[in-house]
Structure 1
Amino acid sequence: MLNKRMGVLALGVFSATQAMAQSQAQSQGFVEDSHLTLNARNAYISRDYKNGNQDKAEWGQAFMGNFTSGFTQGTVGVGVDAFALYGVRLDGGRGKSGAGGIDFFKQGDSGQAADDLARVGAAVKARVSNTVIKYGDQMPQLPVLSYDNGRLLPESFTGTYISSKEIENLEVVAGRFTSQVRKSATGHDSGGLKSINVYGASYKFSEAFSASAYASDNEDVFKKQYVNLNYVFALPSEQSLTFDFNGYKTKLDRDFSADAAAGERDNKIWSLAATWAVGIHSFTLAHQRSSGDTGYNYGFYQSAGAYSDGGNSIYLANSFWSDFNAKDERSWQVGYGVDLSGLVLPGLSYKTAYVRGTNIDDGTNRGNGTEREIFSQLTYVVQSGPAKDLSLRLRNSFLRVSDNASAYNSEGNETRIFIDYPINVF
């Protein structure tokens, strides 16, 4: 039960360590170790804004194929990874599409969302011992460059990425990416990324303690550093207490914006979460704090005046609909989760959280603003039969923002419905 209750990053380090057994010396071949998976995703997001903004909603059906080859045998193994994505719009599009936070289908010059979109990508890879180098279209998952897979279709990046696990319990990574494909578009560099260099390492000190540190240099945008510490205390009677610390330090480039040129460049943001797991229940208490000249900046696209470091590059405790990442914001979270498999239905779980943020500076000199969010999510995963692994996720947020923080965030009600049906072909 211990490993199931680890924080996300700690669990990732543990999984990476176990994967070290699959070294080049144990390669079975290009075809023999190949895998093909398909995923049919039906996704809907709606936002009912409460401050006069037009309501937004998008609904689509996606089909995603992912092929991962094995490595050829020998001292140096080579292989290929590839993906094919197709999405079709199911809603009306005009009027309600175009929200940056939804972004299923990019709008054209007429204001009409695309009827469908398709794209493919591929990368070549080579492995020596426990070190892999890959070049081409990829979907990196690092705290400083993490692709967004929380909409209809995922983002992708093109570049070179190296991952080395030569030392037990240690993974070292480095990469350089020079273009980004927007999740709602087909253009190969629709995100407008110039270049971003990433590097870092994660280390598992023991079954209980892991740590990681990463950094990025996003050309003409910012430099960013990240650190994580995760410790799991095993308690009697199948209980555990997990402490998870995450922190970012960001400095915007002077030439990126007028605000940065005027000195609004620095941000530090951190969160500390404590989760007590007992039986089928988990209870979370978290605090998050932002400081500096500006709020924490990440995500979206340079072609739209933003940052191009991936829509999930915010490994912080209080990130739900709102990220609680305004300038000088301080926020607290109380969360609860329960595994309902043994009580109601196998594969059923529920999570809820309440987060309140204060001390918000939205740049309008109207005093310290506040925001609060009630988040809930019900998840069901089919456990057996022809539809095994099909998942249904129902997510809802109620977000309220004070008038003197409205330049930072918009309040409203959000609903997300995602159905994913993954199929392992081979």
Structure 2
Amino acid sequence: MKLMKWSVIAMAVAAGTSQMALASSQSESEGFVEGSSLTIFNRNLYMNRDFRDDAAQSYREEWGHGFIGTFESGFTQGTIGVGVDAIGLLGVKLDTGRGRQGNGIFPAVQGDDHVADDYSQAGAAIKFRVSNTVLKYGTQFVALPVFSTDDSRLLPETAEGGLITSSEIDGLELNAGRFTALSAQRESSHDALGLDEIIFVGGTYAFSDNLSTSLYYSDLKDAFEKYYGNVNYNMDLGGEQSLAFDFNIYQSEYESEYVNTADDEDNTIWSLAGTYAFDAHKFTVAYQQSHGGVDGQGYIYSDDGGGTVWLANSVQYSDFNGEDEKSWQARYDINMASYGVPGLSFMTRYVSGYDISTPTGTGEEREWDVEAKYVVQEGAAKDLSLRLRHAKYWSDSDYAPVNGTDLTDLRLIVEYPLSIL
């Protein structure tokens, strides 16, 4: 942890020698009411999974509508600005039934035989701002590489705790936080995942418009410590062409009690992705490698947020994060605006993982994803989006007990943001 703290301080000092301090955001505060906003984000999700080799329950199908309400006040004027944010979540079941539930969308009732007709959650946070530094304490969404609330189902996870975000130097953002509760995506409880305590510190520095780096440290009590690093570089090749590289790495040090082994276990996992873009097209190739772990599990997350897996080969179903796993990806994207249909885009990718160490041998897995998305560009339905996601996943018998059986995953997602204030 000392190394992490000194690395962040050194980064800040280096930035301070070459960058001027930013103008104070607090000095430009509009006021508590004048700077307020209220939005209701509507999400309609249909999801089915066909586990072809699962004799117990091969087919799972759920459909629901979610309302994600967020109120963000402005900051009061003065040297110290004060504000309040609030979150209200409501999920409503539209269809599923006994024997078809199980995609992690609705809370289970009466064991796993039925799911609730609806579920909800609400929370608030108070925030303070001095210059360009904000302290926020309470219920909130978090999106940092070592602590990230998941938003892959009907409603997102929420976390309870404090987060400091500071941008006093141009190009440098520092973060530090402590959280003591984490909700699940399908539960109403504020601490359904049983988070005891996580603390973290880190930051991101942009050397230029083309090059940025990140460095973070986290400590999940009685579980593990993590270090995360990132380098992102973009190169303009001219003629509507560009080349981008993104490198991510996690070092996790697990406690023996957490992984149920006699000795502490470590895992290092990294990914490198390169993207070549020209006109409407993007071609991406990526390689990811995991080293270490236990019983087929390499990089472990979710206790520190279901979205805490910022890696190139974390895709629709699998994260390709098994013990000692190596994986590669090939991806293609096209934006149909260049062909006269603005708002329409397509994506397909294929990921193959191999050399996975498991208790029974060496495992393999593969996934093929296809996605189509359309966003309405104008009119009364502006910003309404429709997205179809389809994934096919395969794993051999050695890895299936760890990451599940072969399956097909289909999701139809309709989203519409409604601005009230």
**TM-aligned CA deviation for residue 401 of structure 1:** 0.9
Q: Pick the aligned partner of 2:230 from 228, 231, 244.
A: 228
SS at 2:374's partner residue?
Answer: strand
CA deviation map 1:368-425 (0-9, x unaligned): 2211111111111110000000111110111111122222222111111110010122
What residue is the counterpart of 1:304 in the other structure? none
Equivalence map 1:206-245=2 (5 Å): 206-245=208-247
What residue is the counterpart of 1:284 in the other structure? 284
Q: Which amino acid aligns with 1:382?
A: V
User: Does 1:171 pair with 2:166?
Assistant: no
Q: Pick the aligned partner of 1:347 from 339, 343, 347.
A: 343
Q: Quick one: distance in 2 between partners of 1:96 and 1:265?
A: 38
**TM-aligned CA deviation for residue 297 of structure 1:** 3.7
Q: Which amino acid aligns with 2:341?
A: L
Unaligned 5+ runs, structure 2: 1-18
Q: Pick the aligned partner of 1:323 from 319, 339, 344.
A: 319
What residue is the counterpart of 1:97 in the other structure? 101
Q: Which amino acid aligns with 2:279?
A: G
Q: Pick the aligned partner of 1:139 from 138, 141, 146.
A: 141
What residue is the counterpart of 1:252 in the other structure? 254
Equivalence map 1:6-17=2 (5 Å): none
SS at 2:380's partner residue?
Answer: coil
What residue is the counterpart of 1:416 in the other structure? 411
| Kept after mapping to 1: 8 A contact 2:298/2:324 | no
What residue is the counterpart of 1:58 in the other structure? 62
CA deviation map 1:190-216 (0-9, x unaligned): 111001111111000011100001111
Q: Which 10-residue stretch deviates more, 180-189 or 148-157?
A: 180-189
Q: Quick one: distance in 2 between partners of 1:354 and 1:103?
A: 25
**TM-aligned CA deviation for residue 150 of structure 1:** 1.3
CA deviation map 1:120-166 (0-9, x unaligned): 11000000000000100011100111111110001001001100111
Q: Pick the aligned partner of 2:363 from 360, 369, 383.
A: 369
CA deviation map 1:226-278 (0-9, x unaligned): 100001111021211101000101111222242xx323621100000000011
Structure 1 pair 371–264 and aligned structure 2 pair: CA distance change class (3 A)? farther
| Kept after mapping to 2: 8 A contact 1:139/1:156 | yes
Q: Which amino acid aligns with 2:384?
A: L
Equivalence map 1:299-338=2 (5 Å): 299-300=301-302, 308-320=303-315, 321-338=317-334
**TM-aligned CA deviation for residue 293 of structure 1:** 3.0
Q: Pick the aligned partner of 1:395 from 389, 392, 400.
A: 389
Q: Quick one: distance in 2 between partners of 1:185 and 1:389?
A: 28
CA deviation map 1:16-55 (0-9, x unaligned): x9xx667100001001111111111101221111222422
| Kept after mapping to 2: 8 A contact 1:172/1:202 | yes
Q: Which amino acid aligns with 1:416?
A: R
Structure 1 pair 297–95 and aligned structure 2 pair: CA distance change class (3 A)? farther
Q: Which amino acid aligns with 2:351?
A: V
CA deviation map 1:56-114 (0-9, x unaligned): 2221111121100000000000000001111111122322223xxx3111212432211
| Kept after mapping to 2: 8 A contact 1:298/1:311 | no
CA deviation map 1:325-354 (0-9, x unaligned): 111110110100000123252100011101
Q: Pick the aligned partner of 2:81 from 77, 83, 91.
A: 77
SS at 1:315's partner residue?
Answer: coil
**TM-aligned CA deviation for residue 188 of structure 1:** 2.0
Q: Quick one: distance in 2 between partners of 1:67 and 1:89?
A: 24
Q: Quick one: distance in 2 between partners of 1:85 and 1:142?
A: 21
| Kept after mapping to 1: 8 A contact 2:299/2:323 | no
Equivalence map 1:261-276=2 (5 Å): 261-263=261-263, 265-276=265-276
Structure 1 pair 24–343 and aligned structure 2 pair: CA distance change class (3 A)? same
| Kept after mapping to 1: 8 A contact 2:253/2:264 | no
What residue is the counterpart of 2:107 in the other structure? 106
**TM-aligned CA deviation for residue 359 of structure 1:** 0.4
Structure 1 pair 212–120 and aligned structure 2 pair: CA distance change class (3 A)? same
| Kept after mapping to 2: 8 A contact 1:263/1:293 | no
Q: Which amino acid aligns with 1:413?
A: T
Count of residue pairs brought into register by the alignment: 394
**TM-aligned CA deviation for residue 189 of structure 1:** 1.5
Instruction: State TM-score, norm by structure 1.
Output: 0.90
Q: Quick one: distance in 2 between partners of 1:424 and 1:331?
A: 42
Q: Which amino acid aligns with 1:339?
A: N
User: Does 1:381 pair with 2:383?
Assistant: no
Q: Quick one: distance in 2 between partners of 1:182 and 1:293?
A: 25
CA deviation map 1:293-319 (0-9, x unaligned): 33334444xxxxxxx211111110111
Q: Pick the aligned partner of 2:127 from 121, 125, 128.
A: 125
Q: Quick one: distance in 1 between partners of 2:400 and 2:172?
A: 44
